[in-house]
Structure 1
Amino acid sequence: MPGLGFALETHPGLRRPKNEDAVGHLLTPWGGIFVVADGMGGHRTGEVASRLAVETILGYLKEAEPSPKALLEAFERANARIYQEAQRPENRGMGTTATCLLLDLPYALIAHVGDSRAYLLRGEEFVLLTEDHSWVAERVRQGLLTLEEARTHRWRNVITNALGSFPQARVDLLGLKLTPEDTFLLCTDGLSGVLEDRTLREVLRNFPPEEAARRLVELANEWGGPDNVSLAVVRLPRDLPKGTRPYALPLEAAGGAPVRLKLGEEPEALPTQVLEGRPRVGWRDVLLILLWIVVVGYILMGYFKRP
C-alpha cells in the first residue's frame, strides 16, 4: 500500500529469560494485517501459543476477503489450534493474548482477546480502543479499583480471557472509518504496563513509525524492562481510497461501543451500513414486507366481501 508506514518490534525485556511474545504482519491490496500476541503457560508453551496465533490469523486472512466474519473466523481457527495443542500434558496451561488490526482502507477492523492493546492517535487525540480482559481491568470497570491501584496490583497479570485456554473464547470486535495519517499502536502489556499513555502519545506524535517503535522499546527497558515488549506502529498515508464496504462496521452497529462476540457467532446479524447511498435490504426485511402485504390484503378482502 503506497504511503503506508509501519514498524514492528519485539524484545525479551531485561528480566525474562526468553521472549514469549510474537508479532507479524502481511501487506494486502486493501491495506494490511498486523498482529501482536503475548503467550503464557511457562517453559516453551507461551512461546508456541503466541507464534501459533500469529501464524494462524495471518494465514487465514491472507486467503480471505476482508470482513468482520473473516476476522472472527481467523481467531476461531487460532483458538482451536492452540486449544488442541494445550491438551498435551507438556502444554497444559498454554494460551495467548492476540490483538489484530485489519486495514480495509478507508476502514479498519480490530479483533482482540486478552490484555494486549490497540491505541489510535488521531491529530492530538490519543485513544485506547480495546478493553483489557484481566482481573484488575474488570475491577476498575466495576469501580472497585482505581487505574493507579490496578497498575501496581499483585494480580495485574491475571488474564480472564485468552486464545487456547477454553474451547471458545470471547472476542472483542470493533471497526471505524479512518482519516489520513491516523496512527495505530498495537502492543503487549510489557509496554502498556510500564509506560504511561501520555508517553506513548508523545513518542507517536514526534517520530515516524520506525523511530517511534525503537524508542518505545528502549523506554520500556529503561524503566526496568520487567516483561517481554512487543509492538506494531502503523501510520496511514495522507491519501486514502474512497468508498464503502458491504459489511457493517461493528462499532457503528453498537452505537459506539465494541461488539463482544463468542467465537462461532455470526457478525452478519449486525445492522448493515449504507452502501452507495442506499440502505441494503436483508432477507428479514423482505419477509417483513411480504408479511405486511399479506395482512393488508387480508383486511381489504374482508372489507370488500361485506354486503
Structure 2
Amino acid sequence: MGILSIGKTDIGRVRKNNQDAIYLNHQVHLYLVADGMGGHSGGEIASSIAVESISKYFMSNVNKLAPEELLKNAIKFANQSIFQYSKNSPALRGMGTTACLLFFSGSNLYVANVGDSRAYLINRGYLYQLSKDHSLVQEKINLGIYTREEAAKDRQKNVLVRAVGHEERVEIDVFNYRVSRNDMFIICSDGLHGKVSDRDLLYLASKQIADPAVASKEQIEALALKLIEQANCNGGQDNISVIVSVAQ
C-alpha cells in the first residue's frame, strides 16, 4: 500500500504573517501541521522550531524506537527546544505551537497531537476526527456544559489547554489506527476546521476525490487548494494549513 500526500499553507485574509508550518517527508511517510502562537513573531518561530526539532529527532531515531515512543519523544524534544528558546528571549516568553502528526508504518497509522490542529479520516462517505482537541471549549464539551454547536460560538474557542513549548513539560496524545486502501486523511490547523464545517469538509473532499485509491497528485492538490479557498471565502481570519493523504 502506498501513501500519496500533498500539503499547502496560506496566510489567510487578515493576518500579516503566517504562523503555521507544515512538514512532509514522503520517504518515511511523516506529515505534520504546526500552528504557532505568541506575540513578537513568537508563533512563527515556535512552529518553525517544532517542525525542525520533530523532523530531526524522528529521522535520527526512526529505526531505534517503537512508533508511539518515537512520536512522543520527538514532540517532547520540540517542546524543550521551544521552551529553552523562549527562556533566552524574554520577548518570546509564553510562545508555543500546536502539533498534529501522521506517521504511516505499513498498514498502521499513528496520530500524535497537542493543541487543536486536527486529523481526520474520510472513509466510505463518512468523516471521523482521529485526534482530540486540547482546548478550553473541548473540556466544556467533555463535561457536558456545551454542545458542539454552542462551543463553535464561544469567544474562547481558540484558547488551548495544551501547547508545545508553552511550559517545561507537555502531555501528548498518540492514537493507532489500521489503514485501508481508499482511506483519505486530512490534517489541518484551526484556520481551516474553524471556518469549514465537518459537513462541508466531507462534501468538498468527496466531490473532488470520489475514489482515493486512484486519485492523482493533481486531484489531491486541487482538494487542498479548494479547502483553503473555502476557508478564505468564509472569512480567512487565521492562517490556513492542510495536508491531504490517500492510501492507494
Number of the residue aligned with 1:121: 122
Number of the residue aligned with 2:200: 199
**C-alpha distance in 1, partners of 2:14/2:117?**
19
Number of the residue aligned with 1:150: 151
Q: 2:233 aligns with which of 207, 222, 227?
A: 222
Secondary structure of 1:235's match? strand
Query: How many percent identity over aligned positions?
Result: 37
Number of the residue aligned with 2:51: 54
Determine if contact 1:11/1:229 at 8 Å carries over to the other structure: yes
Q: 2:31 aligns with which of 25, 34, 51?
A: 34
Alpha-carbon RMSD across the aligned residues, in angstroms, is: 1.2
Larger relative contact order (Cα-Cα within 8 Å, sequence gap ≥ 6): 2
**C-alpha distance in 1, partners of 2:230/2:91?**
35
Determine if contact 2:3/2:29 at 8 Å carries over to the other structure: no
Residue type of the alignment partner of 1:95: G
Determine if contact 2:123/2:184 at 8 Å carries over to the other structure: yes
Number of the residue aligned with 1:232: 243
Residue type of the alignment partner of 1:68: E
Secondary structure of 2:53's match? helix
Which has the greater radius of gyration?
1
Q: How many residues align?
A: 234
Kindly state the Cα deviation for residue 69 of structure 1 after the two structures are TM-superposed.
1.0
Number of the residue aligned with 1:82: 82
1:10 aligns with 2:4: no
Determine if contact 2:97/2:165 at 8 Å carries over to the other structure: yes
Kindly state the Cα deviation for residue 5 of structure 1 after the two structures are TM-superposed.
2.0
- Structure 2 length normalisation: TM-score? 0.91
Residue type of the alignment partner of 1:37: A
Kindly state the Cα deviation for residue 149 of structure 1 after the two structures are TM-superposed.
1.6
Gaps of 5+ in 1: 238-307
Gaps of 5+ in 2: 209-218
Kindly state the Cα deviation for residue 3 of structure 1 after the two structures are TM-superposed.
4.7
Number of the residue aligned with 1:250: none
Kindly state the Cα deviation for residue 43 of structure 1 after the two structures are TM-superposed.
2.1
Residue type of the alignment partner of 1:217: I
Which digits, 9 at most, give the CA deviation of each residue in 1:235-258, with x for residues without a partner?
Answer: 111xxxxxxxxxxxxxxxxxxxxx
**C-alpha distance in 2, partners of 1:70/1:3?**
22
